[in-house]
Amino acid sequence: MSARILIVDDLAPNLHLLQVKLSAEYYDVLLAQSGEEALEKIKDERVDLILMDAIMPGMDGFETCRKLKNNPDTYHIPVIMVTALDGTKDRIRGLESGADDFITKPFDDFNLLARVKSLLRLKMVTDQLLSHTGHSLANSRTVVQEIEKRKGRIVVLEDHNKRAQQLTAPLQDIHNFTIATRPEEVVGRKPSDTDLIIVSLTSENFDGLRVCASLKFDHETRNIPVLLVGTPEDENRFVRAYDLGINDTLMRPIEKQELIARVNTQLKRKFYSDALQENFNQDLEMVVADPLTGLGNRRYFERSVAPLFESIEKGEPFSIIVFDIDHFKRVNDILGHDIGDDILKEVATRLVTHMRAIDIVSRYGGEEFMIAMPNTVLDDAMFAADRIRGLIGGTPIYVDGQALSITMSAGVAQVAQGEKLREVFKRADSALYKAKREGRNNVKAATIQKAA
């Protein structure tokens, strides 16, 4: 199932223009022509991201956004304001109303899509945490209220003293900050002592984009939000930065209130994610979990999929994917078990990040991972498995500064009526070994099991 985006605009031409652009990128698109209609639609439909016009008759985009962000049920849904307003005050108003980003018409398609993808990545991680903790949105009200009071710990990477002061002066009475002048002071920081990293794109002594890439590929820092600061001439580099995984951008000259608003937006989302993660960690102590990767283990998986076998009788399909890291024994023998463990943790992170919130991801044993995909037929599960295979094989895993190329093979099976887990696992596992025999870095479908 692709991400679902709600477009809110009172003008039909604007709605349909964005609908065409997003549908071409294979997103599911919902439409609403007012703030009131948007709020009603969200009650009945799953929404992963909202693109909303600021100026509409009746309830405008600012008020609609405030209502969304004050409601624990919708707090976690990212909102991008899309508007013809280009004044700084309007951007600040949008951000202070709770919008995660603000983009001005006419906008560049690549810029918009890069921002959309960036926010959807964050939404997927939040959904996964909510799914695994059982922590409902409705009981998040206390969490939402508490994060409004917290001070952030911010690191500013800027080697020009005057520019550093422009960034830190507006924040000094609101948050705690540290100024760093060299990338090595930032890369590898512990998430436990850093809530936001602000990186300058205009330094003469380091490449800001390379720093961002290092931060987002490093296991320690990938979940720390990054705000990139540049000039209007850096527009194309901003788009590239979003592809690397940064969270937001800010243009020079710095406007104090916009800086504060963007910083606060990133910190609130980080604090919310941290609260869910803490809940997740507590829950892991009460279930059988894999201590290395943080995923549920074999027993957890078997318990979690039991209700799905009951849903088969109601005509609701589901499929299972068995992933296995190729040549993993060779990795352990040559590079050592510590690096092998780091690879397992990274693979687990990528699997969780790129699967849906409703999917059940576990480490089934050794280098083998099992994923259950509810409401998914074989063809769709094959597509998902091959997409994940390509993402893992196509992006190096960095361990102790080494770029390691790791591939995975997979076997996929759709569960048939009357089938037991051991039976569907046997079919998927046979498909996995067929993929191994045929060269690895491959996905194979299991033979079809006829209904009993």
Q: Does an H or E element contain 399, and which?
A: strand 397-399
Helical spans, DSSP H, in 78-150? 88-96, 109-133, 141-147
- The pLDDT score that the predictor gives to residue 107 is 77
The whole-model pTM stands at 0.55
Three-state SS at 283: helix
Task: Give the Cα separation of 225 and 4 in Å (integer).
Answer: 23
DSSP H or E stretch at residue 244? helix 235-244
Lowest mean pLDDT among 87-101, 153-167, 417-431: 87-101
Do the domains spanning 150-254 and 298-445 agree at the CATH topology level? no
Strand partners of residue 320: 372, 413
Task: Write down the architecture of domain 150-254 according to CATH.
Answer: 3-Layer(aba) Sandwich (3.40)
Q: Considering 36, 367, 423, 438, which one is annotated as catalytic? A: 367
CB 190 within 8 A of CB 219: no
Q: Is the preceding peptide bond at 13 cis, omega within 30 degrees of 0?
A: no
Angstrom distance (rounded) from CA 211 to CA 228: 10
Nearest one of 108, 84, 128 to 249, comparing CA atoms? 108
Strands 4-8 and 176-180: unpaired
Per-residue confidence at 145, pLDDT binned at 50, 70, 90?
Answer: low
Annotated domain spans of the chain: 1-148, 150-254, 298-445
110: number of Cβ within 10 Å: 15
Residue 341 confidence (pLDDT): 93
Mean predicted confidence (pLDDT) in 40-49: 93
Q: 268: pLDDT confidence band, cut at 50, 70 and 90?
A: confident
Four-point Cα dihedral 166, 85, 227, 95, nearest 10: 90
Predicted local distance difference test score (pLDDT) of residue 365? 86
pLDDT at 134 over 60: no
Q: How far apart are CA 399 and CA 401, in angstroms?
A: 5
Helix intervals (H) in 285-377:
298-312, 328-335, 337-354
Q: Per CATH, the architecture of 298-445 is what?
A: 2-Layer Sandwich (3.30)
In the chain, what is the straight-line distance between the N-terminal and C-terminal CA atoms, in Å?
Answer: 29
**pLDDT tens-digit series, residues 294-317:** 888 888 898 889 889 888 888 889
Give me the percent of the chain exceeding a pLDDT of 90: 50
Q: What number of other Cβ atoms are within 10 A of residue 439's Cβ?
A: 9
Q: Is 346 a catalytic residue?
A: no
Q: Which residues contact 300 (CB under 8 A, 6 or more apart)?
A: 287, 288, 289, 362
3-class secondary-structure state, position 421 = helix
Give φ, ψ of 153 to 5 degrees: -105, 110
- pLDDT range class, residue 130, cuts 50, 70, 90: low
Q: Specify the CATH number for 1-148; select among 3.40.50.150, 3.40.50.2300, 3.90.660.20, 3.40.50.300.
A: 3.40.50.2300
